[in-house]
Every structure is written in structure tokens, then in C-alpha cells.
Amino acid sequence: MAAAARIELIALAGFPRVEPGDDLGQLVAGSLADNALALQSGDVLVLAQKIVSKAEDCYVELADIEPSPEALELAARADKDPRQAELILRESREVLRVRPGVIIVEHRNGYVHANAGIDKSNIEIDPDNPRVLLLPENPDASAQRLRLDLERRTGVAPQVIINDSAGRAWRNGTVGIAIGTAGLEPLFNQVGEKDMFGNVLEVTEPAVADELAAAASLVMGQAAEACPVVLVRGATLQPADTGSGSLLRDRSMDLFR
Amino acid sequence: MAAAARIELIALAGFPRVEPGDDLGQLVAGSLADNALALQSGDVLVLAQKIVSKAEDCYVELADIEPSPEALELAARADKDPRQAELILRESREVLRVRPGVIIVEHRNGYVHANAGIDKSNIEIDPDNPRVLLLPENPDASAQRLRLDLERRTGVAPQVIINDSAGRAWRNGTVGIAIGTAGLEPLFNQVGEKDMFGNVLEVTEPAVADELAAAASLVMGQAAEACPVVLVRGATLQPADTGSGSLLRDRSMDLFR
């Protein structure tokens, strides 16, 4: 009998609180050791965007933000703090939809995201000086740095995914998506199948990085809040020197903008 | 140290080819035994839509289909076989977008899906009498039947997800989504968090059934074609007597139609 294909996802227990300037490679290597895990070839590490942003000090104090007239107008339409609206505009290429409570944009990194991914939950807030947390400047670069750093520390270069929870068209609820990757092919380009008339069908490309980002999000969410790093074994993703750009549909090809 | 949260996904090896009229519960129970696995409380079984459709004989022979004038017009716009266009119309509530090669609809079961999920790949085709495979009539009911049947056979009622690969707005590649569920709450309704001003934020609801459907799709895809059933251990999804309807965004709330 053929061996069953297996994937295992392990949320690292006891991951420390991350502060600006922390060395994520050191924290991850330490947490793997604490969890009695050693990196193996083919392992994937999925990190929640939030800890990457914290380590890279992507905090912004709202007191420092001066809303533009455009931000004031947007804030009124969305029923939001004008300073948040200003930050959303600065972090975005285009505003796609606005309704009370949500501003859906194309983020400067290309993904369509509510509120430009700007986060107010699970960060320490001083009521006298509120702050928010932006997405990392360049999540692909962050993922690649971590991959190389862990290779230096452990001798094994893991594939890395930085994930974030995202809303979707048509369906309720959020799912984890990959906003940065290193060492893996985000789309699994299957050889074109033929249809019943012998014609080659449109190529089926599973977005494997997003599928794994979603799975990791489930493990992070089921665990306590302090499980922002998930080790994945058995995923057998294709190696690649690319980042996550191929996951982004070109706007000229997007039927739902 | 707290134990790390773990999820394991196991693609059942050697799952038999499914034919119309087959008893899926019997096939799954047999395959679990072949793989030396016994159902445990909290286990989730994810089944590829295709084997459910095959067991329920959702095949349609194109020779039996008479395209309507509307189907002829749609087929011309989409560069498709008019009989396929006719089936897509019959399976749908509304056509949302058309471009050469793809017709995006709201399926009669509510999900937005390319070509109404009608499948021509990996099914046996007689060139003289081509056929296609529709989605199951009612995937929630199919999932519930399987859940109860396996409970009768094994004494353990697994949570069940029927998944399908779906395209998305904004992002390239397909991901697995849940088109039918039984025994689980598809959305994990987290208690409303408070924002930095002490206000309750919009509730964050991870679509856990879709996250698990995506993860299972990855395991099915990485394995050989004959791995349409995945056993998931450790997901700790909330039990519920509901189906998958809560995953569907009401069209009045959908900003991207």
C-alpha cells in the first residue's frame, strides 16, 4: 500500500511577546528549541504578519498623523478616525470600496485588503497616545531575511510564509492568505490537462501558499493568542527563489474590482 | 510548557475509483481501515466534491442537452460549447461575469463559482458521448448523510467537509473552499474585541471550514490523483448542527458583485 500523504502543522507554544528591534530569527530558533523541534529539509514556517510588523517597528502613533482633506472626506464616508483614514490612504494605491466601518483598498504591496491591513487588535495601547500597526514594509524581503537567518543559525533554510487574515468577496469570514513568501513557488502550476474534446484546458493552478497560510491561520487561531508561528511538515512545496507576487492578479485581468 | 497545538492532515492512500451508486460511507470506512486509521472524536473528514458527485451520479451527457437561445448567446460570448453554457445556466441563479473561457455565476446553492463548478477533468469520457459532472444536488445534505452513516458504522460521528477548488477575486490560483459541511460551525465567531478606544471592533470571524478545506486541498493535490479523502486530526472545530450556509455572504452585503 502506498504511504498516505501527511501534512502536520505545529503551533510553537510559548512564543515570546515581540518588541520593536527584536531579532525574529533568534526568537524562532529559540522557540523551536523550546518546543524540542529541529528544522528539517522541506519544513515551512508560517509567521503571523503581526509579529513581523512588531519586530520591524511598524507602529505609528496617531498623534503624529495630520489628516489630509481627502482623508477627512474618506473618514466621514467610512465612519472612521480621520488619522486612520489618512494612514490607509498612505498605505494604498487605490480605494476600491467604502462602507461604514470598512475601507477596502489595493495595498501598496498589491493585495486587496480591508483597511490596508492596519491593525489595532492585540497590540499594547497607551490610551493617552494610541497607535496602530502597519503591515511590514516588504513582506517578501522579511520572509527571505528570516529564511537566510535561520539557515545561518541551524544549517537548514526553511520555506517561509508570512500570513494575514483577509476578508473575501462573496464569502463571509476571514481566511489566512500569504502576504510574503520565501523559498517556495506560491502557485503550483500543473501541467495543462486536456478536456473531453482533447483540448488543453485552462491550466489549474492551486495557490498552495494561500492554502498553507489558511491552514496555519486555523492553527494559530485555535491555539492561545501567543501562537503566531506555525511549523509545517510534509507540505512538499516546490522550491523557488521567488516571492509572493505571482499570487496577485493583475488588475487588467481582474473581473471584480 | 504548554503543549503545542497540532493539526495533522492525512490523505487516505489507495482510495478506490468512485462510480455512480457507490456507498461513500462504506468506501470511506473501508479506506480508513486500509490505512490503519480508526475515527476518533473530533476528527474531520474532507471529501473532494468530485467523488460525492460521482457517487450521486451527477453526470450529464451533453447529447441530452438542448441549448436555449440564452445559452447560445452566452456560449458565443464565452467561447464555450452551447450545451455546457445551457448546463451552467440551469445550475445558476445569476451570471455575474463572462469572458472567453469562463462564466462566473452564483450557483443555485449560493456560492460564486466559475462555470457553476461543472467539471470535465478526471472523469471518464467516451469521445462519442461526452459528459460532464455537476456539483452535488445538496452538498450539506450529502455531508450530513455521510456523517450519520459513518457514525452508524464506526460509533464515531466525524465532522464532514465537502470541498471544491475555487477561483477568487483579486488573487491568482485556486484554493479549496467548503461547499458542504456537517457537524461543525463553519465560522468561528470570536467574542468582539475592543479597539484602542475601548470600542468593540467589528467581530472577527475566521472561516474555519474554508481554512480547513484549503488545507485539505493542498494535501489532496500534493498526493496522487486518487487521494480525494483527507482525515484531519486536532482541528477542534466547534460542533454544530448547521450546514455551510453561513459562509455565503448575502448579496445585499456583498461589495464585489
Got the DSSP string for B174-211?
BEEEEEEEESB-SS--PPPPB-TTSPBPPPP-B-HHHH
d(CA B85, CA B99): 13
* Most B-contacting residue of A218, A231, A238 (CB-CB within 10 A), to test interface: A218
Which CATH topology does A8-52+137-248 take? 60s Ribosomal Protein L30; Chain: A; (3.30.1330)
d(CA B241, CA B46): 17
CA distances to A105, A143, A155, A206, A257 from A246, rounded to whole Å, are 19, 16, 28, 12, 18
Rg (CA), chain B: 20
| Residue A180 φ then ψ, to 5° | -155, 140
Q: Do B175 and A249 touch (CB under 8 A)?
A: no
pTM over cut 0.95: no
- Show residues of chain A in contact with B205, CB under 8 Å: 172-174
* Most A-contacting residue of B59, B94, B171, B219 (CB-CB within 10 A), to test interface: B171
3-state secondary structure of A243: coil
- Show residues of chain A in contact with B188, CB under 8 Å: 173, 221
**SS3 per residue for A52-70:** HHHHCCCEEEHHHCCCCHH
d(CA B57, CA B69): 27
Across the range A221-246, mean pLDDT stands at 87
Across the range A172-180, mean pLDDT stands at 96
DSSP bridge pairs for B186: none
**pLDDT at residue A189, as a whole number:** 77
- Show residues of chain A in contact with B165, CB under 8 Å: 204, 206
- Joined together, the cell numbers standing for residue A61 give 502613533
CA distances to A69, A158, B20, B91, B154 from A115, rounded to whole Å, are 18, 31, 48, 35, 47
Q: Do A207 and B174 touch (CB under 8 A)?
A: yes
* Most A-contacting residue of B196, B204, B230, B247 (CB-CB within 10 A), to test interface: B196
Across the range B133-158, mean pLDDT stands at 97
pLDDT digit string, tens, across residues B19-56: 999 999 999 999 999 999 999 999 999 999 999 999 99
Q: Does the structure show a pLDDT above 50 at A110?
A: yes
Of B7, B227, B256, the CB nearest to A5: B227
Res. B4 pLDDT band, cuts 50 70 90: low
In sequence order, which residues have a C-beta less than 8 Å from that of residue B170 and are 6 or more positions away?
A111, A112, A169, A248, A249, A254, A256, A257
- Show residues of chain A in contact with B35, CB under 8 Å: 1, 4
**pLDDT at residue B201, as a whole number:** 52
Which CATH topology does B59-133 take? CofE-like fold (3.90.1660)
d(CA B163, CA B215): 10
**pLDDT at residue A197, as a whole number:** 44
pLDDT digit string, tens, across residues A8-36: 999 999 999 999 999 999 999 999 999 99
Alpha helices, DSSP H only, in chain A?
A: 24-34, 49-55, 69-78, 82-90, 139-154, 208-222
**pLDDT at residue B252, as a whole number:** 85
Across the range B166-194, mean pLDDT stands at 89
Res. B119 pLDDT band, cuts 50 70 90: confident
Share above pLDDT 70 across residues of chain A, in percent, rounded to a whole number? 89
Nearest to B48 by CA among B239, B252, B213, B241: B213
**pLDDT at residue A46, as a whole number:** 98
d(CA A42, CA A158): 7
Q: Does the structure show a pLDDT above 50 at A195?
A: no
pLDDT digit string, tens, across residues A41-93: 999 999 999 999 999 999 999 999 999 999 999 999 999 999 999 999 999 99
Residue type at A59 in one-letter notation: Y
pLDDT digit string, tens, across residues B189-206: 765 555 444 545 555 789
**pLDDT at residue A256, as a whole number:** 84
Of A120, A173, A214, the CB nearest to B214: A214
**pLDDT at residue A204, as a whole number:** 74
| Residue B181 φ then ψ, to 5° | -140, 160
Which residue is associated with the grid cell 465532522? B159
Domain residue extents for chain A: 8-52+137-248, 59-133
More confident residue, B201 or B111: B111
